[in-house]
Amino acid sequence: MAMVCLSDFEAYAKKYLPKITWDYFAAGADECTTRDENILAYKRIRFRPRMLRDVSVMDIRTKILGSEISFPVGIAPTGFHQLAWPDGEKSTARAARAMDTCYIASTYSTCSLEEISAAAPGGLRWFQLYIHRNRAASQQLVQRAEAAGFRGLVLTADLPYTGKRRDDVRNGFRLPPHMKVKNLEGAFEVCKMSPSFHSLLDPSVTWNDIHWLRSLTCLPIIIKGILTREDAELAVRHGVQGIIVSNHGGRQLDEGPATIDALVEVVEAVQGRVEVYVDGGIRKGSDVLKALALGAKCVFVGRPALWGLAYKGEEGLQDVLRILQDEFRLSMALAG
């Protein structure tokens, strides 16, 4: 089977991954309305293509927080990459570096952040962070990320509790015994990493904790999970360097807005004071172009990266990114 577009990788992953793993990656909250809306909302946006422009040379490189990447698509934080490929996040890091783009490693990685760093020295990486009830643990993670050469901290703001993903509840999803949430070893008992209402995360976190986080590190702080102009304004006022418009792939609150729709109001509120990114629903190069046209500096892909890993590890993920890159370049040319 030829791998022509991202849907081909999705079909492959659905066919070859264990059902419990596929369900976990695919899961959306409740009735998956928002997960699906993320994709449908892109389809509702129409181009106004312009003709007879010189598109023989196109520069698709860009910079995020000062670092250059080869094209405006990075890898969003997702957990448990060993479920998709034995080498897990180490493969992800290598693929991202090979494609010269940014990889946001998740706290819930099955490789430690030091292992990730060692797998692809010199790659551009940010580290995704939750704030735990045990603040010392969070502080330790920040310091380890800084020491391991991560160049940004991505604070996830939309998970005070885990969303209700029905299939995961039915499947009784939890990590297989031979995998570990390596970043949290020692600090927490790992076997609790199943989706449950009560968790190790602190649901009392507020905007003031941004100041606490700022006091711990000189890395740029990017906040992930913003969907309204009000919160975008608060984020800017609390001194973050970037905003990722995200609804956690539709895995948290169901029936909120699609991210591409929310992007418009966030960009308008921010007015260029910080960089704005978006994730969720990107499936084609033309989706990237739409997000950029609506004000995003860069997009991040979550599930497509997992499909690429499931297909052929590092190589498969590169295939996914290369297809997006080619499609993005072609869309730019055809849209003038």
Question: Which active-site residues does the annotation give?
Answer: 248
> Would you count residue 318 as binding its own copies (CB under 8 A)?
no
194 is in an annotated binding site: no
Nearer to its own copies, 223 or 310 (CB): 223
Between the alpha carbon of residue 6 and those of residues 37, 66, 129, 253, the distances in Å are: 18, 29, 28, 26
| Interacting positions 100-139 with its own copies (CB under 8 A) | none
Q: By the 8 A CB rule, do 170 and 143 touch?
A: no
Report the residue from 222, 227, 276, 282 that binds its own copies according to the rule CB under 8 A: 227
Distance, CA of 23 to CA of 238 (rounded, Å): 37
> Would you count residue 5 as binding its own copies (CB under 8 A)?
yes
Q: What are phi and psi of 68, to 5 degrees?
A: -80, 140
Q: How far is the CB of 304 from its own copies (least distance, A)?
A: 15
Nearest alpha carbon to residue 153 among 135, 127, 132, 131: 127
Q: How far is the CB of 330 from its own copies (least distance, A)?
A: 6
Name residue 200's amino acid: L
Q: How far is the CB of 48 from its own copies (least distance, A)?
A: 5
> Would you count residue 46 as binding its own copies (CB under 8 A)?
yes
Report the residue from 59, 122, 178, 206 that binds its own copies according to the rule CB under 8 A: 206
The three-state secondary structure class of 69 is: strand
The three-state secondary structure class of 136 is: helix
Q: Which stretch binds its own copies (CB under 8 A): 18-26, 118-126, 308-316, 325-333?
A: 325-333
First to last CA, the chain: 32
Q: How far is the CB of 117 from its own copies (least distance, A)?
A: 29
Stretch 25-44: interaction string toward its own copies, x if CB under 8 A: -----xx-x---------x-
Which of left, alpha, beta for 199 (phi over 0: left; psi -120 to 50: alpha)? Answer: beta
- Cβ neighbours for 297, distance < 8 A, ≥ 6 positions apart: 62, 64, 72, 275, 276, 277
Report the residue from 61, 170, 192, 273 that binds its own copies according to the rule CB under 8 A: 170
Report the residue from 118, 234, 264, 294 that binds its own copies according to the rule CB under 8 A: 234
| Interacting positions 260-289 with its own copies (CB under 8 A) | 284, 286
Report the residue from 118, 253, 264, 294 that binds its own copies according to the rule CB under 8 A: 253
What is the dihedral angle through the alpha carbons of 171, 174, 179, 182, rounded to the nearest 10 degrees?
Answer: 150
> Would you count residue 326 as binding its own copies (CB under 8 A)?
yes
Long-range contacts of 167-172 (CB under 8 A, 24+ apart): 167/23, 167/24, 167/26, 167/27, 168/23, 168/24, 168/27, 168/195, 169/195, 171/19, 171/20, 171/23, 171/24
79 is in an annotated binding site: yes
Q: How far is the CB of 259 from its own copies (least distance, A)?
A: 12
> Would you count residue 319 as binding its own copies (CB under 8 A)?
no
- Kindly determine how many residues on this chain lie close enough to bind its own copies according to the rule CB under 8 A: 62
For the stretch 19-31, what's the b/e string if a residue is b when 16 or more beta carbons lie within 10 angstroms of its beta carbon?
ebbbbbbbbbbee
Report the residue from 4, 136, 215, 218 that binds its own copies according to the rule CB under 8 A: 4
> Would you count residue 10 as binding its own copies (CB under 8 A)?
no
Would you tell me which residues interact with its own copies (CB under 8 A)? 2, 4-5, 30-31, 33, 43, 45-57, 157-158, 160-161, 163-164, 166, 169-170, 197, 202-207, 209-210, 223, 225-228, 230-231, 234, 247, 252-257, 284, 286, 326-327, 330-331, 333-335
Annotated binding site for FMN: 77-79, 106, 128, 130, 156, 224, 246, 279-283, 302-303
